Structure 1
Amino acid sequence: MSYDRSELSLPHRHHGRVPSPTAHRPAPLAPARERPGSGTRQRSWSSYHRALRLLRRACRWQRRVATLVALGYFAVFLTLTVRAPAFMARPALGGLPTGLLLAVAQIPVTWLAVLLFEYSARRFVDPLARRVSRYARPADGDGRAQA
């Protein structure tokens, strides 16, 4: 069997764009078989892999948002320190310099990033992880489920 794909037809262009490869996926030929003795139907690979993709996307989003909150505040603090030293030296609440208050505020902002991370994990990532764990793992090439 050749791995040359040159004989395959190219997808038709729509408004100058090529549709995604999943748009032309053929319908399954036969319904999913039941596993002997399990009493439940075998789940398709696409739903398992789709759930994994969603889980990975949610984890990436979660890491990016928490990182941008913590590092973004720190970058703003450093930028103000370099670009506006007069503002940072100006007295604020209780006679403390503004720069010192903003530096101390980094601790609550870091905790806010941690709380945001935990909240988004419970709200978005954990349900996806539970959904992935409910699926049967896809079979190896020999037809047996992976351990």
Structure 2
Amino acid sequence: MSTDSSDLYPARHRPGRHASPAATPQWATPQEQTHLPHRTRPLSGSHRDLRRLRRACRWQRRVATFAALGYFAVFLTLTVEAPSVMTRLAPGGLPTGLLLALVQLPVTWLAVLLYEYTARRYVDPLARRVHRRPDPVPHEEPRS
């Protein structure tokens, strides 16, 4: 019994791969190199607006994330590194750790409100501007 499976999977033709340079067809060899002009970013237009929209969305996500996660990281760091601070009584008779844990909810809501504010102030106007622009490439009709 043979373990050779090459008969089961015959070699497939791969276009563009030739055995030797002599076997390369004439049309496949480059005759002359044409250099395309270097494209620069347009100073205005839909691409610029889309870049600004992406940048505003990234900034918005980062600020809101760092606000919520930053406070949580500070809380965890204090819990691990300074447990004596966390067990000390805060004004009102609660331990400081419990008070800081309860403050996490308002901090999270503040991060959500900050996210909403920056969305209305910076991102939504950019999105409306991009949405109002006419599409430079007409949509193709679906092929039947």
TM above 0.5, one fold? yes
Matched, 1:137 2:135: yes
Q: Report the Cα distance in structure 1 between the residues aligned to 2:75 and 2:139, rounded to whole angstroms.
A: 50
The answer on 1:64 being equivalent to 2:57 is no
Which whole-Å deviations, capped at 9, do the CAs of 1:29-68 have from their partners, x for residues lacking one? Answer: xxxxxxxxxxxxxxx9x50111011101100100010000
- For 1:146 and 1:102, the matched residues in 2 are separated by 54
What are the equivalent positions in structure 2 for 1:47-58 lying under 5 Å apart? Answer: 47-58=45-56
Rounded Cα–Cα distance in structure 2 between residues aligned with 1:65 and 1:133: 25
The alpha-carbon deviation at position 146 of structure 1 amounts to 2.6
CA distance in 2, matches of 1:76, 1:146: 51
How far apart are residue 137 of structure 1 and its match?
1.4
Aligned alpha-carbon RMSD (Å): 2.9
> Match for 2:123: what amino acid?
V
For 1:9-20, what aligned pairs fall within 5 Å after superposition?
none
Residue 129 to residue 92, structure 1, CA distance change in 2 (3 Å): same
- Structure 1 segments unaligned to the other structure (5+ residues): 11-20, 26-43, 140-144
Deviations 1:66-96 (A, max 9, x none): 0000000000000000000000000001111
Number of the residue aligned with 1:104: 102
Distance 1:49 1:126 in 2: 17
Alignment match, 2:83: 85
What are the ranges of 5 or more consecutive residues in structure 2 without an aligned counterpart?
1-29
Pairwise CA distance, 1:9: 9.4
- The 1:47/1:9 distance shift into structure 2, 3 A limit, reads closer
Pick the structure with greater CA Rg: 2
User: Is the Cα contact below 8 Å between 1:52 and 1:132 reproduced in 2?
Assistant: yes
Runs of 4+ in 1 over 6 A off after TM superposition: none
The whole-number CA distance in structure 2 between the counterparts of 1:106 and 1:94 is 18
Is 1:146 aligned to residue 139 of structure 2?
yes
CA contact 1:77–1:102 (8 Å) conserved in 2? yes
Aligned pair count?
A: 110
Identical amino acids, percent of aligned pairs: 68
